[in-house]
Amino acid sequence: MKNTNDSQEWRLLNQHYSEICNQHMRAWFAEDTNRFARFSVQCGDMLLDYSRNRILPQTITLLGQLAHHMQLPQKIESLFTGKAINTTEKRSVLHTALRDQRHTSIIINGENTANLIELARHKMRFLVNAIHTQQWRGVTNQPIAHIINIGIGGSHTGPKMSVHALKPFAITNLTFHFISSIDQTALEDVLQQINPERALFIISSKSFTTLETITNANTILAWMKARLGQHVLQHHFIAITRAIEKAIAWGLPPENILPLWDWVGGRYSIWSPIGLPLMLMIGDKQFADFLQGAYEMDEHFRYTDFEKNMPVLLALISIWYINFFNTSAQAIVPYAHALSYLIPYLQQAEMESNGKRTTLNGDEISHTTSPIVFGEEGCNGQHTYHQLLHQSTYFVPADFILIAQTASTSHHHQDILLASALSQAEALMQGKTYEEAYSELKINYPHHEANYLACHQVIPGNRPCNILLMEHLTPKNLGALLALYEHKIFVQGVIWDINSFDQWGVELGKQLLPILLKQIQQDASPSKLNSSTTALINYIKKIRGRT
């Protein structure tokens, strides 16, 4: 297949862009009172208002044609039916199977994924029950009080984000902690907060070779042995991994190991045993609701026409900006403290998946792919980087994620939060003209000063945002939200004709790290390195007094 941007569909979109790029959304809203009804869609508890985008009905039609040209319907079926769409690693991509309520049998390497998933879920439930009922005890016969997840990337962001988001749904008094960075201060910070006799460490690593995770696990094992003796492994450590033999070699008994599989990518693994911390916090039933929400989004994605299909629409609009408006950024702004860790979660999901430059055939891509995802929970962002969204020369689309109701009896704070989000959306869209600024200023200032200030207060507006509004932040709605973004990312990957499920760029750093580590740790001068690296290593050694 030729590069996407060689197609007739792409050319038509380019032409459409030049026709509408100078039109203002203000005018569109004024002309079309139905704009919200036309450009909004509901899925379960979630409403997507995409009316504040630089689109007309024809834009969606043309983008839909591009999606068909790139065989999106067939690709969606390939995803759900377990075709090996991760072509460079020859793997299926079956995170959707983990929440499939029909338990469809898909055979991968002679094994039925539905059975593997059910067995793993059964083991998760068994462990959760043993910990909740205090049958699982530490080596000194104390019940478990602290759960510490040791993992990085997809083995960290999902558990941390979901545990933080769903705290109000906790059914236990367990405390949850997360160690990801190799920085020892991060580790010590957590160890200071826990009682080792009541700690359970979950080593989450699909490969069981990730240097940060295994180094942290080794340090913690030594720390635990120093306090509680040699027999801590069985009572205080669980592993979640595809490399079961490596976890056994590390010393864990098989009953303390939960499986992962090749067909679940790290950044798509929260639905798998990697979600154990979440299940420990909210229990099996609510964890099932979390999966149910994702499943309902899967069904919506698989069976809804593109014009009403929430993930497809989000993806197409994003492509519209990246490839035709030439933006390379995407702000994620959850107006919910509970969703603050959604930002790093989506950074990995989006940028590790689609930060690629090669088509499935191996050709170099000549257009932009993944946006740079950044953000901050509202209202904090308003007082930091939103200035750039409103007035800079950059064009940055934003997703605002709103929650209508919280458990709190007083709505006062929530009302301000929601009003803040809507006023930001309004300001981005409307902007402020020179005339509007001047007429406000002239009340208090003489002409020349009003004129001077008005020039600085002009805000162009016409800056887009999506508003995702959910009724409550429940396990089910969180599941739906995450699945929504997963599918958005998938659709973008299909249209860009890239493999969203490998991450070769990360591997080079992993290869170089042991070489540089050796140079830092050895007494000999560094050799065969460039002058910058050599100088920096020498400088570090000098500071440490080793040379």
Which helix H or strand E contains 402, and what residues bound it? Answer: strand 398-403
Stretch that binds ligand F6P, among 14-22, 67-75, 201-209, 306-314 (CB under 6 A): 201-209
Q: Is 430 in the site for ligand F6P (CB under 6 A)?
A: no
Query: In this complex, which beta carbon is closest to ligand F6P, that of residue 152 or of residue 339?
Result: 152
Q: Which of residues 335-394 bind ligand F6P (CB under 6 A)?
A: 352
Count of C-beta atoms within a 10 Å radius of residue 122 = 10
383 part of the active site: yes
Using CA atoms, how far apart are residues 462 and 453, in angstroms rounded to an integer?
Answer: 21
Stretch that binds ligand F6P, among 205-213, 290-298, 317-325, 428-436 (CB under 6 A): 205-213
Question: Which letter does DSSP use for residue 91 in this model?
Answer: B
Query: In this complex, which beta carbon is closest to ligand F6P, that of residue 51 or of residue 348?
Result: 348
Which helix H or strand E contains 116, and what residues bound it? Answer: helix 113-132
Using CA atoms, how far apart are residues 80 and 270, in angstroms rounded to an integer?
Answer: 17
Please pick, among 352, 376, 377, 486, the residue that the annotation labels catalytic.
352
Written in H, E and C, the secondary structure of 312-364 is HHHHHHHHHHHHHCCCCEEEEEECCHHHCCHHHHHHHHHHHHHCCCECCCCCE
Question: Which letter does DSSP use for residue 525 in this model?
Answer: P
Using CA atoms, how far apart are residues 485 and 158, in angstroms rounded to an integer?
Answer: 13
Q: Which stretches does DSSP call E strand in 101-247?
A: 107-108, 111-112, 146-150, 175-179, 199-204, 237-241
Q: What share of the chain is helix, strand, coil (3-state, %, to 5)?
A: 55, 10, 30
Stretch that binds ligand F6P, among 93-101, 131-139, 150-158, 428-436 (CB under 6 A): 150-158
Which helix H or strand E contains 437, and what residues bound it? Answer: helix 434-441
**Choice from 21, 30, 419, 506 touching ligand F6P (CB under 6 A):** 506
**Choice from 79, 97, 127, 152 touching ligand F6P (CB under 6 A):** 152
Site string for ligand F6P, 164-193 (x = CB under 6 A): ------------------------------
Using CA atoms, how far apart are residues 300 and 44, in angstroms rounded to an integer?
Answer: 9
Q: Which residues contact residue 481 at a Cβ distance below 8 angstroms, ignoring those fewer than 6 apart?
A: 46, 293, 342, 401, 468, 470
**Choice from 65, 87, 142, 207 touching ligand F6P (CB under 6 A):** 207
CB of 194 to ligand F6P, least distance (A): 22
Stretch that binds ligand F6P, among 46-54, 153-161, 447-455, 517-525 (CB under 6 A): 153-161
CB of 87 to ligand F6P, least distance (A): 17
Query: In this complex, which beta carbon is closest to ligand F6P, that of residue 205 or of residue 466?
Result: 205
**Choice from 236, 267, 476, 487 touching ligand F6P (CB under 6 A):** 267
**Choice from 153, 334, 431, 526 touching ligand F6P (CB under 6 A):** 153
Query: In this complex, which beta carbon is closest to ligand F6P, that of residue 217 or of residue 478?
Result: 217
352 part of the active site: yes
Closest CA to 352 of 481, 259, 486, 241: 486
**Choice from 53, 180, 205, 309 touching ligand F6P (CB under 6 A):** 205
CB of 221 to ligand F6P, least distance (A): 17
Stretch that binds ligand F6P, among 107-115, 178-186, 204-212, 317-325 (CB under 6 A): 204-212
Residues composing the chain:
547
Query: In this complex, which beta carbon is closest to ligand F6P, that of residue 296 or of residue 350?
Result: 350
Would you name the residues annotated as active-site residues?
352, 383, 510
Residues of this chain that bind ligand F6P (CB under 6 A): 152-155, 205-207, 210, 213, 266-267, 352, 503, 506
